[in-house]
């Protein structure tokens, strides 16, 4: 089967299907070897790229040419990712019938409001461009609603994990099958296809320009995964994640030493065999808070809800930020308890996504 034939092929609905395909004809690498192609469920045409999804491949390679980024990916993130699945599996989870509840004081409401107002410039800068932004009165109403929604969540003694679990299925999936790496864009026809490839932790088989791409894609997937958990707690269903645009929104931030340090701390905590589920939940919130401060969260939300209008875009962005803002007030313990509960119910799915790309020690 040639690359042009693959481009016209429609695959059936299966999580992973295997097709015996010559790597050379698929990716024009001239290796002469045979690979097994893994494709996720889709009714769309799949375009065969030499490592590109929405022109993402060149950006990934360019990022890996940055010496500090490359060192971080291969020397820090990669070893931690090999320990991640086992660390998550050994997390002690204590079932709880009732969550702690609390009422925000007037001062706490004002503190949350201040953080929402402070986040507006970044949200407005990254919002829809095909219609005018809402007026100040509408924005104030959206902020008020975000605070009320947050108060309702903190008052609920029971946790509905349904939406958070739905969000897990909206993320793109990436895997290595045989010696072919594939990550599929769920909201478009693009895909990243790389061969030869290997699981994270195996001896490098890729050329110097592509080694580490699988690590970056897994890191992006984990960020979306954790954001989806928080969004679910805030009552928000994320749309299918567009791999190319979302990755482009996050890639520049990997050049920031502060963001790289935050990723290292997050991975180390999640991979720890002694950290409690509450400590891992707190690490998730600290990481998302840093993304918000770095301006990455607004960019990420903008890409996830690109097809929505201003009102829905701001409602989603501000509700997420309101939830994260409660971490810094007395309601922080209530917030951690909720993210810990939803993280506990989501461990299996997160572990399975990690295992698709990682060879355990």
Size of the chain, expressed as the number of residues it contains: 361
Rounded CA separation 246/244 (Å): 6
Domain ranges of the chain: 56-172+209-355
Longest dimension (CA), the chain: 68
pLDDT at 173: 77
pLDDT at 32: 27
| Start-to-end C-alpha separation, the chain | 36
Tell me how many degrees the CA angle 106-338-304 measures, rounded to the nearest 5: 90
- Predicted TM-score (pTM) of this structure: 0.79
Q: Please state, as a whole number, how many other Cβ atoms lie within 10 Å of the Cβ of residue 358.
A: 24
Alpha helices in the chain (DSSP H): 3-8, 23-27, 56-64, 67-71, 78-89, 106-126, 136-155, 162-168, 213-233, 243-250, 257-271, 277-294, 296-304, 310-325, 332-355
- Contact predicate 248/302, CB 8 Å: no
DSSP secondary structure code for residue 308 in this structure:
S
pLDDT at 331: 65
pLDDT values of the chain reduced to their tens digit, one per residue, 361 residues = 443 444 444 333 222 223 333 332 333 222 223 333 333 333 333 333 444 455 677 788 888 889 999 999 999 999 999 999 999 998 887 766 678 888 888 998 998 999 899 888 888 888 888 888 899 999 999 999 999 988 888 888 887 777 777 887 777 778 877 667 777 777 665 667 766 677 888 776 555 556 788 899 899 989 988 888 888 877 788 878 888 888 888 999 999 999 999 999 999 999 999 999 989 998 998 898 888 888 888 788 888 877 778 888 888 888 888 888 887 776 678 888 888 888 888 888 888 888 888 888 7
CA dihedral 279, 230, 222, 172 (to 10 degrees): 160
Place of tokens 């690109």: 306
Place of tokens 């015996």: 20
pLDDT at 206: 53
- Contact predicate 181/29, CB 8 Å: no
Rounded CA separation 209/241 (Å): 26
């Amino acid at each position: 089967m040639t690359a042009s034939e693959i481009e016209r092929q429609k695959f059936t609905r299966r999580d992973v299907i295997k097709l015996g395909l010559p790597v050379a004809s698929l990716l024009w690498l001239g290796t002469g070897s045979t690979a097994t192609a893994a494709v996720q469920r889709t009714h769309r045409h799949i375009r065969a790229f030499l490592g590109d999804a929405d022109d993402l491949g060149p950006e990934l390679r360019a990022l890996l040419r940055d010496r500090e980024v490359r060192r971080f990916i291969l020397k820090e993130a990669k070893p931690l990712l090999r320990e991640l699945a086992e660390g998550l599996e050994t997390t002690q989870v204590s079932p709880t019938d009732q969550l702690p509840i609390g009422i925000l004081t007037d001062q706490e409401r004002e503190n949350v409001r201040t953080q929402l107002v402070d986040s507006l410039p970044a949200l407005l800068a990254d919002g829809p461009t095909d219609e005018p932004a809402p007026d100040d009165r509408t924005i104030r109403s959206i902020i008020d609603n975000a605070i009320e929604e947050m108060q309702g969540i903190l008052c609920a003694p029971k946790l509905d994990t349904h939406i958070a679990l739905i969000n897990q299925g909206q993320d793109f999936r990436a895997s290595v099958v045989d010696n072919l790496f594939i990550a599929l864009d769920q909201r478009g026809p693009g895909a990243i296809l790389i061969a030869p490839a290997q699981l994270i932790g195996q001896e490098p088989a890729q050329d110097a320009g592509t080694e580490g791409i699988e690590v970056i894609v897994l890191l992006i997937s984990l960020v979306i995964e954790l954001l989806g958990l928080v969004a679910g707690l805030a009552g928000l269903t994320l749309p299918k994640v567009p791999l190319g645009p979302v990755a482009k929104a996050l890639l520049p931030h990997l050049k920031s030493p502060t963001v790289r340090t935050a990723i290292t701390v997050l991975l180390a905590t999640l991979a720890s065999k002694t950290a409690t589920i509450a400590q891992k939940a707190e690490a998730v919130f600290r990481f998302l808070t840093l993304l918000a401060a770095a301006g990455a969260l607004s960019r990420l939300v903008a890409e996830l809800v690109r097809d929505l209008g201003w009102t829905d875009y701001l409602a989603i962005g501000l509700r997420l930020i309101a939830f994260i803002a409660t971490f810094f007030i007395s309601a922080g313990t209530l917030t951690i308890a909720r993210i810990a509960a939803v993280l506990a119910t989501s461990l299996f799915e997160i572990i399975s996504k990690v295992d698709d790309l990682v060879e355990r020690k």
